[in-house]
Structure formats: structure tokens, C-alpha cells
Structure 1
Amino acid sequence: MSIPIDDLPDIPADLIDEIKAFLRLDHDEDDPAIAEMAGSASLLCESFTRQLLVARMAQDMLPVKNVWQKLSRLPVQAIDLVESVAADGLTQELSSDDYIVDIDSDGQGWIRLQTAVSVSRVRVSYAAGLVADWEEVPTMLRQGIVRMTGYFYANRDSNDVHQLPHAVSALWRPYRRMRMG
């Protein structure tokens, strides 16, 4: 189970301006709504690509096993903390001798317990994300967010929003991480 620690970083003013230019809006009245829609579009992008856009902290709760286990968020930048979690919720940091971590060339994070731990779960805290801040988000992903936000704005009173616009999915698809069974 993955638990987000840090929420999506605030949508920067320049991205809101880019969205307003796309929508041909010349007023600031809808800026708060546009920022919310851009946040939703960004989270949709993360869901579609199966990658966090802007780096932030995440946590995974994993069963205690002496096998390699994958972390759920991608791409992993650093694995910061591994803690045992008792049934009553109390945590204790594990020694680095108790586990091995690895981040492979695809940004997948892995952990393997080395010693017996007397609890049934461990919590792994780690940093994941494609880029450090919004300005570094790849152009195709950013353009998809702009277009998706425009779509949300244009259809804000409709109940018929059921699928991604084709242009948006075409922009995001090259960044999509596939899951193998």
C-alpha cells in the first residue's frame, strides 16, 4: 500500500498563464478554478503515466518478507528510511544492516530485508518524481496538462467527461510505464 506524504506541489503561475493563453482568457477571475483543474490534470497525468511528475516524498507499507519487493511510486530518486511497524502502530527505524535497497536503471525502487524482524510490516519512506520542479516537466507532459486543463475548463458543467482527449493521451503515452503481470 502506498501512502502519499507530500501533496502535489502548487501549480506555478507561469503554468496557469500558459493554460489561460491556450484558453484565450484575458482575465484573472477563474485563476483559482484553473489552478484546481490543472492540479487534477497533473494527477491524471501521473495516474496515466504511472510516474510522479514533480519529486516529493512517498511511503509504502510492505509485508515483512526476505525477498526483493518493489516500491509503488516511480521514478525513485532516493530511499530515505525503513521502519518496522508494530501491530499497535509504533514504529522503530531499522538499522541499515537489516535491509538492502536498490534503485534500478528504470527508476524502480527495491527493498529486501536481511534479518528477521519481529513485526509483520515495514514502512519505507522515499523520494520519487521525474523532475525537481514544474519548470523541468517535459514539454509533452506539460502540453498534455495544459490541454487536459483546457478540456476540464470547457466541459466544467458537463457530466459527459468519460475519457482522455486523444491529443492528451498521445502526448502522455511516450512516458507511460507499463505494468507486467
Structure 2
Amino acid sequence: MLIEEESGGLAAALAELKAYLRIETGGEDAVLAGLLRSAAALCEQFVGQWLLARAARETMAGDGRWQRLSARPVLSIESVAAVDVDGTSEMLPVDAYAIDIDAAGDGWVRATRAGDGRVLAVRYRAGMAGEMNGLPHALRQGIVRLAADHYLARGNESAAPPAVVSALWRPFRRMRLA
């Protein structure tokens, strides 16, 4: 189970969106910020990566197998704890687990002392950039264009994003094959 913290960092994108739409007042800021959050979430789903760095906590079986963390790209794995059936948690010593972050940004964890029936609780950070301005320009532009499209189409939304948005995001898409 993956639990993530909220991230901020849409202020720069809000200014870009307002400039793109030629809006100079602040009366629509709440609506525009909501559209940006939705567009950023759709971008994350499309590319299969977290855009902005944020903390995550994930639980997984402690059976000794290498297991991939759900979010990516993983920036750091901060701690690994064992959780008993009753919910009590114990930080594991370094020799009780192994961690790895591969070249693709996937985080891997395994218990080296498997068989005690406990699950692992892993805390880590994942994301492509610390703020919106740190993202590749094409991703940022796609988010702004999608939010602008939704703003301009209020009430008669289409089912698919504009083709230009998909074209901007496609080079960053990472998918897992089952």
C-alpha cells in the first residue's frame, strides 16, 4: 500500500497558465489552480512517474524477495521498518534489509532476514524535480496547455486531451509490462 504526501509547487505554473490565457486578475486563481492540479495528476498517470518530489510510505511483504517500490523515479530510500501483525513498528538494522535504486530510477527493497511474518514499511522520496520549473519544458507546457484547454472548454469537455499534449508528454512515458 502506497501513501503519499501532498506536494505544492504549482505557483510558477499558475503564472504560466495565466499568461497563456491572457488573464491579468486574480479572480480565477482558485479555478486555475484546481485545473493545474488535475492536469499535473493526469500527466503523472500518463508518464508513469511522479513529477514533483515528495515523501512516500509503502508497505510490502518481508519475504526476502526483491520488491519494486510503486512510485518513481526514486530519489532516496530513507528508512525501512518491520511491522508486526499487531501494528507495532521496529526500525530495522542495516544488515536486516537491502535497498537499491537502479539507473531507471526504480527503487528496490528486500528483507535479508525473511520468514518472521512481518511486513516492511519503507519511507522514501520520489519525483522528477523539486519544483515545476525544474521539470522538462515539454511536460510543463503540456500541463499548462491541458489546464488551458479545460478552462476554455468549461461545460463541454472532450474525453481525450488535445493531441499536442500527448505529443509533448510521450517522450517521458514509462510503462511497466506485466
Question: For the superposition of Structure 1 and Structure 2, which TM-score range results when normalised by the shorter chain?
Answer: over 0.9
Q: What corresponds to 2:29 in structure 1? A: 31
1:116 matched to 2:129:
no
Given the alignment, which residue of 86, 96, 99 partners 1:98? 96
Choose the corresponding residue for 1:154, options 135, 144, 152. 152
| Partner in structure 1 of residue 163 of structure 2 | 166
Listed as ranges, the gaps of 5+ residues in structure 1 are none
**CA displacement at 1:45 relative to structure 2:** 0.8
Say which is worse superposed, 116-125 or 137-146, in terms of deviation. Answer: 116-125
Q: Which amino acid in 1 is paired with 2:162?
A: P
User: Contact (CA 8 Å) 1:8, 1:39: kept in 2 or not?
Assistant: no
Deviation at 1:31, TM superposition (A): 0.7
2:3 alignment partner AA = I
Q: Which amino acid aligns with 1:166?
A: A
1:33-112 equivalences under 5 Å are 33-112=31-110
**How far is the alpha carbon of 1:117 from its aligned partner?**
5.4
Q: Distance in 2 between matches of 1:71 and 1:27?
A: 42
Moved more, 17-26 or 33-42: 17-26
Classify the secondary structure of the residue corresponding to 1:78.
strand
Residue number in structure 2 paired with 1:2: 2
Count of residue correspondences? 178
Residue 44 of structure 2 aligns with an amino acid whose one-letter code is: E
TM-score for both structures, normalised by structure 1:
0.92
SS, match of residue 107 in structure 1: coil
1:14-25 matches, cutoff 5 A:
14-25=12-23
Task: Give the secondary structure class of the aligned counterpart of 2:158.
Answer: coil
TM-score, normalised to structure 2's length?
0.94
- Using the TM superposition, give the Cα deviation of residue 66 of structure 1 relative to its aligned residue in structure 2, in angstroms: 1.0
CA displacement, residues 61-99 of structure 1 (integer Å, 9 cap, x when unaligned): 101221111001010010001111222222111111100
Identify the residue that residue 130 of structure 2 maps to in structure 1.
132
What is the root-mean-square deviation in Å for CA atoms of aligned residues?
Answer: 1.4
What letter matches 2:2 in structure 1?
Answer: S
Contact between 1:84 and 1:119, CA under 8 Å: does it hold in 2? no
Deviates more, 1:76-85 or 1:21-30: 21-30
Tell me: CA distance 1:116–1:11, structure 2 relative to 1, closer, same or farther (3 Å): same
- Structure 1 residue ranges (4+ consecutive) displaced by more than 3 angstroms after TM superposition: none
Does the 8 Å contact 2:9/2:131 carry over to 1? no
